Each structure stands twice: as C-alpha cells, then as structure tokens.
C-alpha cells in the first residue's frame, strides 16, 4: 500500500485505533495517495506529541516509510486545524466514515481531497450542514464513477420534469410515479443535481434520496455515524 516517502505529504486522519500496547493504526486520506493505513509506532507511550497531533479534522504533514501493506509513520507536523463543534463534529465523522467505507485504498482523488478540506472549513464556520453534506456525497460518488442519475429517468432516459413525481431506484434512477408520501419531486432531483437545494422540503427529500443511493453503494450495510446522529438527537430531546 505504501510507496515510501522522502518528505511530508498533506493528509487528514479519518480513523484511528489502538494497536498492541503503545501504537496506533491510522487511516489517513492524503492528497497524493488517497486512502491508506499507516502504523504509528509507540505514540501511545508517555506524552507523545505525535499522538496529540493525529486527530481528526486537522490538516497534517505526514512522512512515512516502507513499501509493504503497512507503512510506518516517521514524522507529523500540524498545518491547520478545522475547529468543529457541536453537530458539525458529527458531520465530520460522517464524512470520514464515507471515505473509509467507499474509497479504494491507494487511489488518489485530489479534487475530493480539496473538497473535503473546504467542507470541513465551511462546517467550522457554521455553514448550512445539509447542503454541504449532499454536495460532498455527490462528488464522492462522481469521483468513484458512480454518479447517480438525477436529471434523466431510469430506463427511458427522458428528462426529469420539475412538476412530476418520481420513485428513486438506485440501480436505475428516477422512475415516474403518482404522488405519494415517499415520492420525490422532480424539482428536488434537479436542484440536488445542480447543488441548488433551496428550501426545507427539498433538503428533506434530498437527504432521503441520497440515503437510498449511499445505502446501495454500501451494499445495505449501516453507517455507525448515522446511528450516532440518532442517539445524540434522542438524548437532546
């Protein structure tokens, strides 16, 4: 997985877990090599500065070495930190889980990397969370070659009409249907495609349709971060 590294590469920590007694296994999303896992040896021993830096939502300069399946981290430097608070932290965890679950290892996506950093920055500034998440989901799927059809009907290829209602079948796309509570308005599908969601109803429908699409891409396996959203919402109610 690793190619060896002579210098620092910009990356974000998207997941980490303890490894043996003093080390960490760290999944990082890097500009140059995409998603990969590195071994941070001994960073849990004493008061390691590396362990303090290896946190989510911080842009880091990382250097690793090794050509096997598990490169060894040798240096860490801080570049900038996106100060997420409250529900923005949950949004960031959701983005991280999407990257870990959907990105192939060792496949660079510089446009997605740039969008990830920008999304974190806008979340930190208090930007509207739902449009930001929908935009990132769409770009992630597009980068993977799975851009969801939103502007044309599945099967017929006819244009989606703003005034019509549609069921959404992830394997086919929008299918015209009579109005019913779970149908999606053509206006929502077109606004989602154009990254121009304008009102609360569009945002709710866009969230439902993207859950269908993401769920299909994940093979129906649930996301832990979504369960955390539900738990936090329940605790706050």
Judge if pTM exceeds 0.85.
yes
Angle at 2 between CA 117 and CA 81, to 5 degrees: 25
Whether 3 maps to a domain, the answer reads no
Residue 193, domain extent = 87-236
Split into its structural domains, the chain has a count of 2
107-165 residue pLDDT tens:
999 999 999 999 999 999 997 999 999 999 999 999 999 999 999 999 899 999 999 99
Question: What does the alpha-carbon distance between residue 40 and residue 151 come to, in Å, rounded to a whole number?
Answer: 45
**Token pair for residue 208?**
């439902």
Is the same domain home to 31 and 148?
no
pLDDT digits (tens, 9 = 90+) for 188-213: 999 999 999 989 999 999 999 999 99
50-73 pLDDT tens trace? 888 999 999 999 999 986 789 999
pLDDT band at 5 (very low <50, low <70, confident <90, very high): very low
- Among 47, 81, 115, residue at a domain's last position: 81
**Same-domain pairing of 163 and 192:** yes
- First-residue to last-residue Cα distance in the chain: 45
pLDDT-derived band at 236, boundaries 50, 70, 90: very low
Does 47 have pLDDT greater than 80?
no
CATH code, domain carrying 13:
2.40.50.140
**CATH number, domain with residue 169:** 1.20.1440.120
Residue 4 lies in a domain: no
């Amino acid at each position: 997985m690793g190619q060896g590294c002579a210098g620092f590469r910009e990356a974000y920590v998207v997941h980490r877990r303890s490894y043996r007694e003093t080390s960490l296994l760290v999944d990082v999303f890097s500009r140059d090599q995409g998603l990969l896992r590195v071994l941070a040896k001994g960073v849990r021993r004493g008061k390691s500065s590396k362990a303090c830096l290896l946190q989510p939502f911080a842009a880091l300069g990382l250097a690793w070495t090794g050509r096997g399946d598990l490169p060894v981290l040798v240096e860490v430097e801080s570049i900038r930190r996106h100060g997420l608070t409250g529900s923005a932290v949950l949004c960031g965890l959701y983005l991280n889980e999407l990257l870990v679950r959907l990105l192939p290892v060792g496949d660079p996506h510089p446009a997605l990397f740039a969008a990830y950093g920008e999304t974190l920055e806008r979340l930190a500034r208090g930007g509207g969370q739902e449009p930001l998440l929908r935009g990132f989901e769409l770009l992630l799927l597009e980068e993977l070659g799975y851009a969801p059809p939103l502007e044309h009907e599945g099967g017929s290829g006819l244009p989606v009409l703003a005034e019509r209602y549609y069921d959404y079948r992830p394997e086919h796309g929008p299918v015209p249907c009579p109005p019913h509570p779970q149908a999606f308005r053509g206006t929502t599908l077109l606004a989602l495609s154009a990254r121009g969601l304008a009102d609360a109803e569009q945002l709710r429908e866009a969230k439902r349709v993207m859950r269908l699409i993401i769920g299909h891409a994940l093979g129906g396996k649930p996301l832990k971060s979504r369960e955390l959203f539900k738990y936090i919402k329940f605790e706050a109610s």
